[in-house]
Structure 1
Amino acid sequence: MNILYIVGEFPKLSQTFILNQITGLIDAGHHVTVLAKKSESNHKIHEDVSKYHLLDHVIYYDENGRDSKFFKGLTFIKSIFSFGYSQLLHKNHPIHLSWKVLLSSPNLILLYNRLKKEPLLDIDVVHAHFGPNGLLAHRLIQMGLIRGQLFTTFHGYDMLRFIKQKGDDVYTDLFQSKTVLLPISNFWKRKLEGMGANPARTIVHHMGIDVDKFEYHPIKMSQDIKIMSIARFVEKKGLIYGIQAVSKLIKKGYNITYSMIGGGPLEKEFRSMISNEGLEDHIRLLGWKTQEQVIEIMKESHVVLLPSVTSHDGDMEGIPVILMEAMAMGKIVVSTYHSGIPELIEHGVNGFLVEERNVDELVHTLADIFSLEDSISISKQARETVLNQYNIDKLNRRLIDTFERKTH
């Protein structure tokens, strides 16, 4: 099959779940093209991007990142003449779109300008990641600029913040089309169906990991405890509660090294908290790392912590891939009763869960983990869960089967 992926940034270090799908499809003999707005500003890239020569198969539609209002305005005016006045106003024309849609979607204008001379018509499957990209793909199909059966994977923010910004009916056209919706958890499946999605075209498809890349490496608890987190430094990741919990534990006498991998808008606040508590020797902000570097740090860690929360603007997680990676390595994972995370972690069986924003519960749970005499059974259950349910090889075979069933 010829498969077109539509994403925002590519390649993107924090989106290995998309990369794993693409490389799996290529390994299965399918041809993949990626349509992306731009590349990530971070210069570090996953080794598979080079190994599979993926940049040779990417079409960027905003290579210069020129997203100022002035540039968008000029592009819009140019596109009006490019579309042709009569085409825009004639409702029966195949590329008719309302003024409202065009004005609210500068990305659609950029895509039109990029694809009008070379439309992507030799495509069997169009796979958009995140709802807004699904909308773009749907409109490109309506305009005759791409062709193929559309599948849209929903992750989380696309059913929360995006709807808050654009309105409850933003996905109505997508729901009424033949698009197959692929929420990444049962939690988000219920959300989509509550918004009006057709249950017959809504299929849960988990994100997964390449288990072979994550060697089973449990380590026994010791007096020198190593905790790690990896995430964007944003509210929904709940890392502020991780810092607070670790601070309390250190004051209780525990010798902890807490490695925080990532970056983002809250970095300055985190550094200030760490400095004010005098914890620079215990809590380290390491910046972004490649997957290979993350694995090396994780090997020596006892606990992987991600205390996710619903942010004040309503944003939520999907099922964080880092938890799957840690579980595959036999690490003790600690997270929260949040979004689809309880579909991955069963408290006390293959990991531990606490209530959102409950620092005291987090402190008590971590203290209990530090005193575990036998954590091997939990480590083994953690890896088994990922092997059986979140193994990218199995999931990619299921995805290909879904593509084939829905395109015939």
Structure 2
Amino acid sequence: MTLAWIVFALCVMGLAALFVLYPVLLTLRISFVRRGQPQQEQQTQPPTVTVIVAARNAAPLVGDKIANTLGLDYPADRLSLIIVSDGSLDGTFAVARAAADERTTVIEVPEHRGKIHALNLAVREARSDVLVFSDVDAILERDALLWLVAPLADDAIGGVCGRRVIGRDDVRLVLAQERYFHLDSLIKRLESRTGSLTSNDGKLYAVRRELFTPIPEAVTDDLYVALSVVEAGRRFVYEPAAIATVRVPSRTAPHELRRRRRIVGQSLRGVLLRPHLLLPTHYGMFAMGLFINKILRRMMPFLLAGLFASSIPLAAESAWVAVLLAAQTACYLLGALWPFLRRAQGIAHALNRLSQTCFYVMLGNLGMTLGAWDFLCGRSAGRWEPEKDDALCADTAESSSPTIAYVMSRFPKITETFILYELLELERRGMRVLVYPLILHEEPKRHPEVDTIMPRVRTEPFLSGRVIAANVALLTEHPLRYLRAAAEALGGTMGNANHFLRTLILFPKIVWMARDMALCGIRHVHAHFATHPALAALVIKRLAGIGYSITAHAHDIQITTRMLDRKFEEAAFAVTISDFNRSLLANIVGPEATSRIHVIRCGIDPQTFIPREHPDVSPDAAKDAPVNLLCVASYKDMKGHAHLVEACRLLAVRGVPFVCRLVGDGPLRTDVARRIRQADLEREVLMLGPLPRPRVAQLMREADIAVLASVRGARGDMEGIPVFLMEAMACALPVVSTRLSGIPELVEHGETGLLVPPADPIALAWALAELSRASSERIRMGMAGRTKVLRDYDLARNTGRLAQLLTAHADRLVFPATDISQTAREVPE
């Protein structure tokens, strides 16, 4: 037998055990096995009961829950109610206190500790014979409690599960969920007639007080309590006449995904805490049912995947396998088409129910896969949390001033100070900014101001539960919009392997960004760099209707121009940092888009970068004291470190005394270090690594000349206008650099520094030697440079121009974003 046949057979047997073997065995057992003792007649005096409800942010529901519970057909003197508000922020505790009477105890837990903590706390306060657990959204039939406790008249029974009924609801997945609960109810009936349930329902269940054991964290409370009853030697049964009417459990596709993932992970942990219940020698049929329902059922995604994969090669050998493969394919296609068929009319509408069921099964299996993975990785989901930073989102969404989202490739990145200080300046001006990096870029060293921005950084891994949920939601709610955005992004980058692969990896996360921005009330997106950040902004516009703008720097418009015209045409406006870049873009994006491109130069803070107190007095006034050179740049080929090291070698040969300090990090650091050793310059050229801004500013005040040997990189990229040169000029340092890109717009040859041809270490060494001998020229050029920077490169002034543009375009939505933000909100469970 081939491997394919073995896999096929194992998967068929596993699925058959779930859907055929187990129900058949239960049915046969009903026919041949008598129940142990006949159930006693219901006692004339029902037991005392405490109904326990844990609630979080349930102010709209808790009043109805209290009224429903206290109005049940149950002796008032034998019924009490405990409500625990678990760190609610919406006034749940106050509403509950207002609706309570003398039979109701309302407990407030100030901090969110989770449902398990709330239930354990309530049980410690209960003094009744029977504990009844119910959810805040479950409305009980008037006789539900009487039916629920009736089986407890039999001493062999320790707990009872009620029946969940879905009320009238227009949620799209309601039909599929109803079918699931009908099947679940059938299994419960069969198990209850032959022994104990292997599952429970948290919407309504009862347990004898003496059989309750504290529930540990990170498990499902209903299953754990049921297993505790069985472990104590009692039966846990089903009473279908005890009805709790609830809303549809899964209001949206992503909600179902999160719910199934959480339940699977927690239930597996619950079984793991009592593994001896899986021993058939001790627990017989119950042990087999527990394995099938709680372990084998969790393996269903893998069984279905194995069945499909093994059917493909076997279809050519067997006609019935080919039929089975066709049936599987049809089911998966129907599930994938449900987002389209659910709005269909006529004949296609008749497929809606089957298609919805297929979709629900696929969604549930994806959730089970994620839950099983969480379990295997040891990740705990012990307490339910709302969407991350909901308080921040609620604050921004309800603000009267518009909130701007900043998208960039990486944050916080120590070399991209221009983004960090632009954000700080925008916030200083009162603008509300949330930061969405495509990659959260943590480094060992970072600027201290980063800590101010980090609370407003919103990010997710490339693939997480929230990212998957966002994609499922957009695909089901707006399939055409989702597919068109995906086709545009992937199709537009397909000609460039690097850009295409990055887009493929980033696209799911960008979809999450779109939904999160809609939820947070974002009114405009600003993308730093015209590569993937601008592509992300374009996709967000397609999905959420939020307009965007771009700041273009250097390599992002020099290396590849793919989709560049579309990104700029769709932008509300664009910013570039130099006239050189604007001219470059004019040849790419056309005159209409060019008219919306503004030149706003990067800026520096003149209060941080200041000259030393006596610029006319060198720190070391000795005649032959070495001149202090400073270069702050990443170790990349376009920064020209190889030419700078060679120029330093030439200076040493000529006998010019100097010390050159290199600040930065990057992929070519090892290569630069090797060149320094080969030139025997380890005493003259010092590599200091990456440093925070205050230390860089101090080094600038100690330096005599700022040097940057910029060249065109191997990929064709080159500088924009280096911020390091702006900061050095603000410190009244003369500059030696190259005639490249926008650098001549900042450094005027002979006025604020000296410019040499790129990749010419001889000319670079000559310029450094000239300035090292002419201290008066250094002072003159340095002061002229500071004057120029204060006039044209002031951070506050330039960011103010950008803020005006952002504010002017912040409310120009393409279409309302509320249609995707409504389903983005977490539904209380």
Under TM normalisation by the shorter chain, which class is it? 0.7 to 0.9
- Cα distance in 2 for partners of 1:200, 1:116 equals 31
Q: Secondary structure at the match of 1:137?
A: helix
- Cα distance in 2 for partners of 1:329, 1:178 equals 36
Q: Which residue type is aligned with residue 663 of structure 2?
A: I
The size of the alignment, in residue pairs, is 388
From 506, 510, 513, the counterpart of 1:111: 510
From 807, 815, 820, the counterpart of 1:404: 807
- TM-score (normalised: structure 2): 0.45
Q: Which residue type is aligned with residue 431 of structure 2?
A: H
Q: Which residue type is aligned with residue 687 of structure 2?
A: L
Quote the residue 2:554 is aligned against: 156
1:212 Cα deviation from its structure 2 partner: 0.7
Q: 4+ runs of 1 displaced by more than 6 Å?
A: 74-80
From 489, 498, 501, the counterpart of 1:101: 489
1:380 Cα deviation from its structure 2 partner: 1.0
Q: Secondary structure at the match of 2:595?
A: helix
From 338, 348, 371, the counterpart of 2:750: 348
Quote the residue 2:431 is aligned against: 30
1:41 Cα deviation from its structure 2 partner: 3.2
**Residue pair 2:489, 2:539 contacting (<8 A) in 1 also:** no
- Cα distance in 2 for partners of 1:85, 1:30 equals 35
**Residue pair 1:305, 1:334 contacting (<8 A) in 2 also:** yes
Q: Secondary structure at the match of 2:404?
A: strand
**Residue pair 1:17, 1:207 contacting (<8 A) in 2 also:** yes
1:95 Cα deviation from its structure 2 partner: 6.2
From 415, 419, 444, the counterpart of 1:14: 415
- Cα distance in 2 for partners of 1:86, 1:54 equals 33
1:171 Cα deviation from its structure 2 partner: 1.9
1:327 Cα deviation from its structure 2 partner: 0.3
From 196, 199, 216, the counterpart of 2:611: 216
1:393 Cα deviation from its structure 2 partner: 1.0
Structure possessing the higher radius of gyration over alpha carbons: 2
1:359-374 to structure 2, matched below 5 A, reads 359-374=761-776
From 169, 177, 182, the counterpart of 2:575: 182
**Residue pair 1:95, 1:142 contacting (<8 A) in 2 also:** no
Q: Relative to structure 2, which stretch is displaced further, 211-220 or 327-336?
A: 211-220
1:131 Cα deviation from its structure 2 partner: 0.5
- Cα distance in 2 for partners of 1:399, 1:328 equals 21
Quote the residue 1:194 is aligned against: 587
Tell me, which stretches of 5 or more residues in structure 1 are unaligned? none
1:19 Cα deviation from its structure 2 partner: 1.1
Q: Which residue type is aligned with residue 536 of structure 2?
A: L
Q: Secondary structure at the match of 1:41?
A: coil
Quote the residue 2:538 is aligned against: 138
Q: Which residue type is aligned with residue 606 of structure 2?
A: V
Relative distance call for 1:220 and 1:32 in structure 2 (3 A) is same
**Residue pair 1:187, 1:339 contacting (<8 A) in 2 also:** yes
Find out whether 1:262 has 2:664 as its counterpart.
yes
Q: Secondary structure at the match of 1:109?
A: helix
Quote the residue 1:382 is aligned against: 785
- Cα distance in 2 for partners of 1:38, 1:178 equals 23
Find out whether 1:207 has 2:610 as its counterpart.
no
1:124 Cα deviation from its structure 2 partner: 3.1
1:176 Cα deviation from its structure 2 partner: 2.5
Q: Relative to structure 2, which stretch is displaced further, 96-105 or 267-276?
A: 96-105
1:111 Cα deviation from its structure 2 partner: 2.2
Q: Secondary structure at the match of 1:309?
A: coil
- Cα distance in 1 for partners of 2:411, 2:420 equals 9
Q: Secondary structure at the match of 1:22?
A: helix
**Residue pair 1:350, 1:378 contacting (<8 A) in 2 also:** yes
From 636, 643, 656, the counterpart of 1:234: 636
**Residue pair 2:467, 2:512 contacting (<8 A) in 1 also:** no
Deviations 1:197-247 (A, max 9, x none): 422211111111111101122355653111111111111001111110111
- Cα distance in 1 for partners of 2:648, 2:634 equals 19
Q: Secondary structure at the match of 1:318?
A: coil
- Larger helix share, 1 or 2: 2
RMSD (CA atoms) = 2.5
1:42 Cα deviation from its structure 2 partner: 1.2
Q: Which residue type is aligned with residue 16 of structure 1?
A: T
Quote the residue 2:730 is aligned against: 328
Relative distance call for 1:139 and 1:392 in structure 2 (3 A) is same
Identical pairs, percent: 27
Tell me, which stretches of 5 or more residues in structure 2 are unaligned? 1-401, 492-499, 812-829
Relative distance call for 1:220 and 1:303 in structure 2 (3 A) is farther
Quote the residue 1:318 is aligned against: 720
